[in-house]
Amino acid sequence: MASSLLSVYRFLPSRKKENVGYVTDIKTSLCGQVLCDPNSLRREIATRHGSRLVVSSLLGRRVKTRETVIPDPDYRIPIVLLGITGGLAYTNNVVPAIPVGLLGLLLLVQTTRVRFVFDDEALAVKVGDELKESGENVFVGGKNRWKYSTFVNWEFWWPNFPILVYFKEKQTKPEGQIHFFPIIFNGKQLYDVMVERAGSSQNSGPKNLKE
């Protein structure tokens, strides 16, 4: 009956094949209003690094993921080490020059290939401009990817000229696993994204870091 207080539901299949399957158009004979507009159901898929995933809910609210951040490489540490190597060799201190020079060359190569990738939920170590997986961690095993929610603490050593970044996480093992990495990335960018994703450091400060 036209005067019935019961709602009448009309289900229409979508004319286009989409991931959501069927789109539902729901109306009520009591108010003659659309309760659920199918246009409010849409999905924008992120394509590359730095883009954002936007999901529109039935209430029209948008949930945005944080963009992926990859700090720029910084060659200062390997350049300093190679400079020290040259100075040692010039003064005929060949024995200490060899290990310092090898370390400088290693860090120079690593600076060109290793990337810290901060996605929405975790820090990952990847390789090359194509951001390939870095494989198993050679020291403690498991993937080189750690969720921010498992971080216990992190610090920069010597913030005026950051040398090492330290962090402890409970993803690898419940009692906590410590990691050290040479800061072969832009120290300011690295600090800012660590604060944003993993919380404030206890001792290191962004005011001490230079671009």
What pLDDT is stored for residue 129 in this prediction?
86
Do 17 and 120 lie in one domain? The reply is no
- What sign for the dihedral angle of Cα 71, 74, 199, 133? positive
Residues 121, 20 share a domain: no
Which of 188, 203, 150, 178 is CA-nearest to residue 72?
188
Question: Which ranges constitute the DSSP H helices of 31-128?
Answer: 76-90, 94-113
Model confidence at 7: pLDDT above 50: no
| Contact present, 39 and 25 (Cβ < 8 Å) | no
Cβ neighbours around 209 below 10 Å, total: 20
Task: Evaluate if residue 55 carries a pLDDT over 60.
Answer: no
Residues 112, 191, single domain; the answer is: yes
**Are residues 129 and 189 part of one domain?**
yes
Residue 62: inside a domain: no
Task: Give the per-residue pLDDT at 62.
Answer: 57
Rounded percentage of the chain residues whose pLDDT exceeds 70: 65
Tell whether the model's pLDDT for residue 135 goes beyond 90: no
Alpha carbon dihedral 76, 114, 128, 103, in 10-degree steps, equals 60
In a domain, 84, yes or no: yes
Answer yes or no: is 89 within a domain: yes
Please state, rounded to an integer, the average pLDDT across all residues of the chain: 76
| Cα distance between residue 148 and residue 205, in whole Å | 19
Mark whether 35 and 85 lie in a shared domain. Answer: no
Q: Check whether residue 87 and residue 23 sit in a common domain.
A: no
Does 30 map to a domain?
Answer: yes
What's the domain count of the chain?
2
- Does position 107 have pLDDT exceeding 70, yes or no? yes
Is pLDDT of 138 > 60? yes
- Each residue of 50-86: b (16+ CB within 10 Å) or e? eeeeeeeeeeeeeeeeeebbbbeebeebbeebbebbe
Does a structural domain hold residue 141? Answer: yes
Question: 187 and 129, same structural domain?
Answer: yes
Examine residue 91 and state whether it is found in any structural domain, yes or no.
yes
Examine the domain organization and report whether 2 and 88 are in the same domain: no
Rounded distance between C-alpha atoms, residue 123 and residue 181, angstroms: 13
pLDDT in tens, 161-191: 889 999 999 999 999 999 999 999 999 999 9
Same domain membership, residue 81 and residue 4? no
Is 186 found in the same domain as 109?
yes
Position 59 in a domain: no
Which residue, chain included where needed, has tokens 């010039």? 90
- Chain segment 73-96, per-residue pLDDT in tens: 999 999 999 999 999 999 999 999
The conformation of residue 57, written as its DSSP 8-state character, comes to: -
Q: Is the dihedral of CA 200, 206, 209, 210 positive or negative?
A: positive
The pTM of the full predicted model, rounded to 2 decimals, is: 0.65
Instruction: Evaluate whether residue 69 is within a structural domain.
Output: no
Q: N- to C-terminal Cα distance for the chain?
A: 73
Indicate whether 194 and 118 sit together in one domain.
Answer: yes
Domain range holding 34?
1-40
